[in-house]
Amino acid sequence: MPDFLRRTDFQSLIDALRGAGYRCIGPQVREGAIVYDTVEQVEALPWGVTDQQAPGHYRLGRTEDRRCFAWATGPQALKPLVFRSRETLWSAARHADGTIAFTGATQRCEPVAVIGARACDLAALYIQDKHFLQDAYVDPGYRAAREALFLVAVHCTHPAATCFCASTGDGPRAAYGFDLALAELEDGYLIETLSEKGRTLVGELPTRPADAAEQRAADDAVEAAATQQSRTLPSRDLRHALFANLHHLRWQEVAERCLACGNCTSVCPTCFCSSESEVPALDGARTDHLREWDSCFTQQHSYISGWTLRANAARRYRQWLTHKLGSWHDQYGRSGCVGCGRCITWCPVGIDITEEAQTICGRVAAR
């Protein structure tokens, strides 16, 4: 049976994490959206706040109950904490005699504890770990930030209309990849632990064993969060269906709505594209080599010696979708979509990945 932490003792979790040397990051309302930011007092969390999401639509509202996780997802996932939107990879200095000295960026490794990681975002982190850490080349910046993370998950109980994690199999219950997982009830939190450091931390909290009624209430809430979801992908593996439909008329049709703005790839917790650029100092004595998030929707993304391979939005949308739901299986053994629905919510024109996939692939093999 998990532990139970009363709502009035919730501050003890933040205090214990800070005492263990972590900077705590938790959800907070900023400029009309819920974002992750440094949190020291539980009062800063979004108590009584909920979100309404629809294609191209995101608004915060108030709820009756006093919960702080009664919302689905903000625009950020865990991605910006480990794969930073902009970072210096290395610097070079040129001396008077023309020689150049290169220096790799020093890796920050400040311990960070995230409170409120959702199942979809943990699944996405697992995918990005495969991309940045589990291959011949390991990204040193990602690794340093990743190893410094302590993850407090929250099982999702308030899915948005854009959510479809039940369809992708990634939520709403957080099943792996966390140190602690919380189930939020009206008067407190059930706590599960997966890691040794999670168990050590819970040992410091004023918990009591949860009772069967609390466990049942928590299970029911997550179960309901799954059944409330109405959006689905036609299958968890659309690789063959997508590549068999590369000339479907829908690619052109969706391109007529798509602004190629890259919002979808920015909010996507698994998109990993980046581009590199130079920022030389004004006196030319030093230059920084930067890496910034890029998007397969930009013109430069497919530039090859004098020409652009994907010159229009139809080609770029097709590249994105066939990769995300198709060739991702070859690369990482699963789809690149975790069902968080962010690309639907934050698309300025409300393009819905589930609808496009249904139309292009047909209603192939039900999940």
Partner 1 sequence: MAVSLPDNPHVPQEAVVLERIQESRNMFTLRLRFADPGVQAGYSFEPGQFNMLYLYGVGEVPISIVSDPRDETVLDHTIREIGRVTKALGKLRVGDRIGVRGPYGHGWPLREAEQRDVVIITGGLGCAPVVSVINYILRRRERFGRLNIVQGVKHSADLIWKERYDRWRAVPNTHVFLTADEGASLWPWHVGLVTEIFDRLEYDRQRVIVMMCGPEGMMRAGVRLLREQGVSDTDIWLSMERNMQCAVGHCGHCQFGPAFVCKNGPVFRYSEIGWLFGTEGF
**Of residues 146, 318, 334, 342, which one binds partner 1 by CB under 8 A?**
318
Q: How far is the CB of 261 from partner 1 (least distance, A)?
A: 18
Stretch that binds partner 1, among 22-30, 62-70, 203-211, 290-298 (CB under 8 A): 290-298
Q: Are 91 and 200 in contact (CB under 8 A)?
A: no
> Contact, 341 vs 231, CB < 8 A?
yes
Least spacing, CB of residue 98 vs partner 1, in Å: 6
By CB under 8 A, tell whether 138 contacts partner 1.
yes
CA–CA dist 122, 194 (Å, integer): 13
> Site residues for partner 1, window 148-187 (CB under 8 A)?
none
CA distance 109 to 95: 31
What SS3 class is residue 215? helix
Point out which span in 53-61, 209-217, 254-262, 270-278 binds partner 1 (CB under 8 A).
Answer: 270-278
With H, G, I as helix, E, B as strand and everything else as coil, classify residue 320: helix
Q: Does residue 278 belong to the site contacting partner 1 (CB under 8 A)?
A: yes
Q: Which residue in 94, 130, 236, 248 binds partner 1 (CB under 8 A)?
A: 94
Q: How many CB atoms lie within 10 A of CB 26?
A: 25
Part of the chain binding partner 1 (CB under 8 A), chosen from 129-137, 158-166, 229-237, 341-349? 129-137
Residue 280, interface with partner 1 (CB under 8 A)? yes
- DSSP per residue, 153-176: EE---S--TT--HHHHT--SS--S
CB of 308 within 8 A of CB of 296?
no
Q: Identify which of 68, 57, 307 has the alpha carbon closest to the alpha carbon of residue 182.
A: 68
CB of 154 to partner 1, least distance (A): 30
Tally of CB atoms within 10 A around 79: 21
Strand partners of residue 104: 90
Identity of the residue, 220 or 276, whose beta carbon is nearer to partner 1 in the bound complex: 276
Residues 102 to 121: which contact partner 1 by CB under 8 A?
102-104
As a whole number of angstroms, the distance between CA 222 and CA 258 comes to 34
Of 3, 51, 121, 139, the one binding partner 1 (CB under 8 A) is 139
**Residues interacting with partner 1, by CB under 8 A?**
89-90, 92, 94, 98-104, 131-132, 135-140, 243, 246, 271-278, 280, 284, 287, 289, 291, 294, 296, 300-306, 309-310, 314-315, 318-319, 322-323, 327, 329-331
